Amino acid sequence: MHRLLLLCSLWLLVAPPTSSIFQRLTGSPAPPGLQYLLEPLHTTVHTQRGATATLPCVLRALPRNYRVKWSKVEPANYRESIIIITNGLYHKNYGPLSPRVRLRHSHRYDASLTITDVALEDEGRYRCQLVNGLEDESVSLTLHLEGVVFPYQPSNGRYKFNYHEAKRACEQQDSRLATYQQLYKAWTEGLDWCNAGWILDGTVHYPIINSREPCGGRLLLPGVRTYGARDKQKDRFDAFCFTSALQGQVYFIRGHLNFKEAGQACRNHGAAIAKVGQLYSAWKFSQLDRCDGGWLADGSVRYPITTPRERCGGLPDPGVRSFGFPSKELRTYGTYCFAG
């Protein structure tokens, strides 16, 4: 017995502290001030629309009379919205996320947040906060949706949207205004667009790969150019929209249809005429590739190309090509339908 006690004492003397263990596991020192919460090994969780995602938050010990509060930082106003509060025994959900969130609670130290049927608006930064009197502490995590950013303007031309109209236009096309991080990532992947557009935080930008005269001049370096924050009511620009994977299928119906006939053709198949965001999603995630121009719900005519070739517009890069907004009476195009 004395030998066992001696061995235990020696282990306590030589065993590395928790922060050292964390440093060995992650390669970085443990953040200061965390006594009860474990810093997650990965602070970004990748997912797609419609999936189930879990944001990790695990306690190393259970203090007396504690609570754990989950909240989301809203990029449009930088405020935090409470999602769920628990004391380990009981919990209460708050806000629009309420029907789709629960605590994973795989063991008594587990306060991880599970989000079902992930939506576009769920992307962003979340905070798991331990509320324990004067010893409050928290960890931040990011939910990242795999998706695609596309520029959008209405049928009456460029620079017609104020901020609220741009936000509504994206939502009508099965998407939402992109965040700066989403726009920046799209630029690194090749998005090159000369027209400035609103993003979710109310600022205005445009991404340039190939510097040229109409887009700020040849001397400016490539990058995401910015106009900064603008008046959300008075100033008018285009929009940068973001969409993710579909829970459904986009397909093409061949024919010489006007816009009204295109919508009816989709309904005859038990589907709806596809929205712009749905076509971009099918191009990005289902590799939809067609040379045929087809009507979409906003009255535009577009076609998705994943393998560029001469007879399909001749452009060297993949993308969704546009014929703009032709007269809705023209019987020239087929239609793209969406079956959910």
> What DSSP element (H or E) covers 217?
none
Q: Give the residue among 31, 231, 237 at the shortest CA–CA distance from 138.
A: 31
The CATH number assigned to the domain holding 129 equals 2.60.40.10
Domain co-membership, 307 together with 254: yes
Domain co-membership, 90 together with 161: no
pLDDT tens sequence across 194-227: 999 999 999 999 999 999 888 888 888 899 999 9
Is residue 291 classed as helix, strand or coil in its secondary structure? coil
Domain co-membership, 173 together with 266: no
**β-strand pairing of 333-339 with 294-295:** parallel
Does a structural domain hold residue 111?
Answer: yes
Does a structural domain hold residue 4?
Answer: no
Under 8 Å between Cβ of 230 and 203: yes
Domain co-membership, 228 together with 274: no
pLDDT given at position 219: 83
Task: Determine the average pLDDT of the residues in 41-52.
Answer: 95
Task: Determine the average pLDDT of the residues in 60-69.
Answer: 91
Domain finish residue from 191, 217, 243: 243
Domain co-membership, 48 together with 141: yes
Q: Rounded to an integer, what is the distance from CA 85 to the centroid of its chain? A: 25
How far is 176 from 244, CA to CA, in rounded Å?
A: 10
How far is 57 from 73, CA to CA, in rounded Å?
A: 17
Binning pLDDT at 50, 70 and 90, where does residue 75 land?
Answer: low
Binning pLDDT at 50, 70 and 90, where does residue 14 land?
Answer: very low
Domain finish residue from 243, 274, 300: 243
How far is 1 from 241, CA to CA, in rounded Å?
A: 69
Under 8 Å between Cβ of 212 and 221: no
Amino acid, res. 44: T
What is the domain range of residue 252? 245-339
Mean of all residue pLDDT scores within the chain: 89
Domain co-membership, 233 together with 265: no
How many domains does the chain divide into?
A: 3
Does a structural domain hold residue 52?
Answer: yes
Does a structural domain hold residue 19?
Answer: no
CB-based contacts of 12: which residues, under 8 Å, 6+ apart?
Answer: none
Task: Determine the average pLDDT of the residues in 105-124.
Answer: 95
Amino acid, res. 331: R
Under 8 Å between Cβ of 158 and 185: no
CB-based contacts of 282: which residues, under 8 Å, 6+ apart?
Answer: 246, 249, 250, 274, 288, 304
How far is 238 from 208, CA to CA, in rounded Å?
A: 15
Binning pLDDT at 50, 70 and 90, where does residue 64 land?
Answer: confident
Between 29-33, 113-117, 148-152, the lowest mean confidence (pLDDT) is in 29-33
pLDDT tens sequence across 269-294: 999 999 999 999 999 999 999 999 99
pLDDT given at position 76: 64
Domain finish residue from 110, 127, 145: 145
Considering only residues 28 and 63, tell me which one the structure prediction assigns the higher pLDDT: 63
The CATH number assigned to the domain holding 225 equals 3.10.100.10
